[in-house]
Structure 1
Amino acid sequence: MNIKIPATSANLGPGFDCLGLAIALYNEVCIKPSTYQSISIKGEGEENVKLKKNNIFVSIFYDVYQELVGKKDFFRFEFYNAIPFSRGMGSSSAVIVGAIASAYEMAGIKVSRETILNKAILYETHPDNIAPAVYGGFTSSVVENGKVRTLKKELDATLKAVMVIPDRPMSTAQSRTLLPKSYLMKNVVYNLSRSSLLTAAFFSENWDYLRVASRDCMHENRRMRQMKELFDVRDMALKNGALMSTLSGSGSSFFNLVLDENVDRVAMALKSHFEMFRVEIFDLDNHGFQILKS
């Protein structure tokens, strides 16, 4: 079997740990029955020997597979990784969702996407990245009594993602230590109002509201101080017509949502001013993970 899992961008400004969307950039995995376990990696991480010795995808796959069938069979895992590591584009969520979905498929058990999502929350404690990796599109999620509840909105083909991908990572765990333990009421209300408007704007396709709705006062600026060029990235993208410009997850990548008619202008402006960073244009993904039997 083959599976491909999309990259994601989470938070989207004020939607801390609950909002996300899927990007048409994929990790692909081919899994074959074998007489012994083996792993090959191409693309991102192919030079990292540790990924073969301690592979999280394989570990989660076997956790779920053995739980389903009661034994450990052997497989060959062939990874084709396109999602950058530690850049805030959901590489960890792609691993988790892909491993769980693959385990059910190889066990021959039909399962709902909702079940896969709620299995994934056991490995990833917040749903902002795993929900779009499962469903695609724009997702708004909550966790209630350990169960994820998600609403999805498909994204119009006229929308593109212009991603600015820095040459160095930002650790999610480290960036969370920069956040305060408590917030002022006015800051909480600020983010609640904007995340609510952001969700409404996506579902109603009122793109003109995205710029104001995507503002945040709880986490973005604190994280961006680790890489101050990102403030200029945001200003440049908005100045040249981006609908919204937000730190992707915990960084270091920056997500810019752009109408197709403006995408070249935004991308060229960013490329010319930030030559040290990758600037890539992607479609958005409305499918989530996809399993393709060979």
Structure 2
Amino acid sequence: MVRVQVPATIANFGPGFDCIGAAVRLYNYIEVEFFSLPKVHVTGEGSNVLPLNEKNLVYRAARTVLEKLNVRKNLYIKLENHIPLARGLGSSAACIAGGMMAANRLLGDPLSREEIIRLATEMEGHPDNVVAAINGGFTLSMLSERGVIYKKLLLPEDLRFVIAVPDFELKTEDARRVIPKRVKLRDAVFNISRVALLVAGIAQGDFSHMDVLSKDMLHQPYRSSLIPGMREILKNAPEKGMLACFLSGAGPSIAGLVYENKAEEAGRFMVEAFRRKNISARYLVLELCREGLSFIE
């Protein structure tokens, strides 16, 4: 039996659409072992809606590894889920990365980390969440003709992510549907310049102007129509102590980067902004997960 701990992830950071991610200390736990028939047991988030058979995403991810290695065996998978579903916190990436890494360990780790990342990216459709989930930290990633290329940075230990999680789901495919297929040149330049300076600032430990550098023109203006209260939160975030504020992944959760002593104030502000739109929400204050997915002995 193999047990893994896999973190939630925050993707995009505003302008870094499909290429920036960060792992945070909120985890799902996955146990995998061979069994006589396919079986899945779920507790926690999604326990009343997730499939308990081969259709389960963790099972499908694990089976992808088995099939690649020509192993024809059934699995018993136990899931203890703490990452909310369809809230922009990388729940699907956690399922895919966790299922694949656990299956690979069950077989003696025949596939390299890079091979698992490639398979996980193929299943997820983009690398930002799975790279962060597996490696931890603040990650930059891209899919190229050479496979997935990625880099990892760390954030200062006194920084926190405050995440407002509204009480409604937004599936990634629905959030992608509102984004135009073609972008204006000025919007592309807007994002490229901000991504470059945002990453440079994080690499140097310089967090000045992060409120400007986390702005976006490729996805957030379009997705804001699906998330009441989002525009108000992004507009007023700096005066509430947030260094940066942006949609977490495809949403509907909104994330702020703050120093620890400002986290509670920022969280209360975001929850209140949602309340004014008649949407209940809660907030989480989370540290960066530096190590990423780990195996529990």
Report the TM-score when normalising by structure 1. Answer: 0.94
Matched residue, 2:288: 284
- Which residue is 1:182 aligned to? 182
1:36 alignment partner AA: L
Kindly indicate whether residue 209 of structure 2 is the aligned counterpart of residue 205 of structure 1. no
Alignment match, 1:247? 247
Q: CA deviation at 1:49?
A: 5.5
Deviations 1:185-206 (A, max 9, x none): 1111111000111111111111
Contact kept in structure 2, 1:138 and 1:202, CA below 8 Å: no
Q: CA deviation at 1:60?
A: 1.9
- CA–CA distance in 2 between the matches of 1:34 and 1:75? 5
Aligned equivalents of 1:49, 1:16: Cα separation in 2? 28
Gaps of 5+ in 1: none
Aligned-partner Cα distance in 2 for 1:86–1:66: 28
Aligned partner of 1:64 in structure 2 is 65
Alpha carbons of structure 1 residues 75 and 125: separation in structure 2 relative to 1, 3 Å: closer
Runs (4 or more) in structure 1 with deviation over 4 Å come to: none
What is the deviation of 1:53? Answer: 5.9
TM superposition shift of 1:35: 3.4
User: What's the % identity of the aligned pairs?
Assistant: 30
Report how far residue 33 of structure 1 moved.
3.5
Q: CA deviation at 1:130?
A: 1.2
Aligned residue for 1:262, secondary structure, equals helix
Greater CA drift, 73-82 or 19-28: 73-82
**What is the one-letter code of the residue matched to 1:278?**
R
What is the match of residue 114 of structure 1?
114
C-alpha distance in 2 between matches for 1:245 and 1:101: 32
CA-CA distance at 1:116 after TM superposition: 1.7
Q: CA separation of 1:45/1:246 partners in 2, compared to 1, >3 Å: closer, same or farther? A: same
Q: What is aligned with 1:73?
A: 73
Determine the structure 2 residue equivalent to 1:29: 30
SS of residue in 1 equivalent to 2:122: coil
Give the 5 Å matches for 1:161-240: 161-240=161-240
Distance 1:98 1:165, change over 3 A: same
Question: Contact 1:236/1:269 (CA < 8 Å) preserved in 2?
Answer: no
SS of 1:24's partner is strand
Please tell me the residue identity of whatever aligns with 1:85: L
What is the letter of the counterpart of residue 162 of structure 1?
A: V
Q: Secondary structure at the match of 2:181?
A: coil
Amino acid at match of 1:27: N
Retained in 2: the 8 A contact 1:236–1:270? no
1:55 matched to 2:56? The reply is yes
Q: Secondary structure at the match of 2:105?
A: helix
Aligned partners of 2:82 and 2:53: how far apart in 1? 17
Q: Is the 8 A contact 1:86 1:170 kept in 2?
A: yes
Kindly provide the amino acid, as one letter, of the partner of residue 16 in structure 1: F
**Paired letter, 1:287:** E
- Deviation of 1:37 after TM superposition, in Å, equals 3.1
Distance 1:85 1:236 in 2: 27
Residue by residue, what CA displacement relative to the aligned partner does 1:112-153 show, whole Å, maximum 9, x if unpaired?
Answer: 422221221221221111110111111111211150110100
Q: TM-score, normalised by structure 2?
A: 0.93
Residues 237 and 245 in structure 2, CA contact (< 8 A), matched pair in contact too = yes
- Counterpart of 2:124? 124
Partner of 1:153: 153
Contact 1:13 1:246 in 2 (8 A): yes
Once the two structures are TM-superposed, the CA of residue 106 in structure 1 deviates from its matched residue by 0.5
Q: Which residue of 2 aligns with 1:18?
A: 19
**2:42 aligns to what?**
41
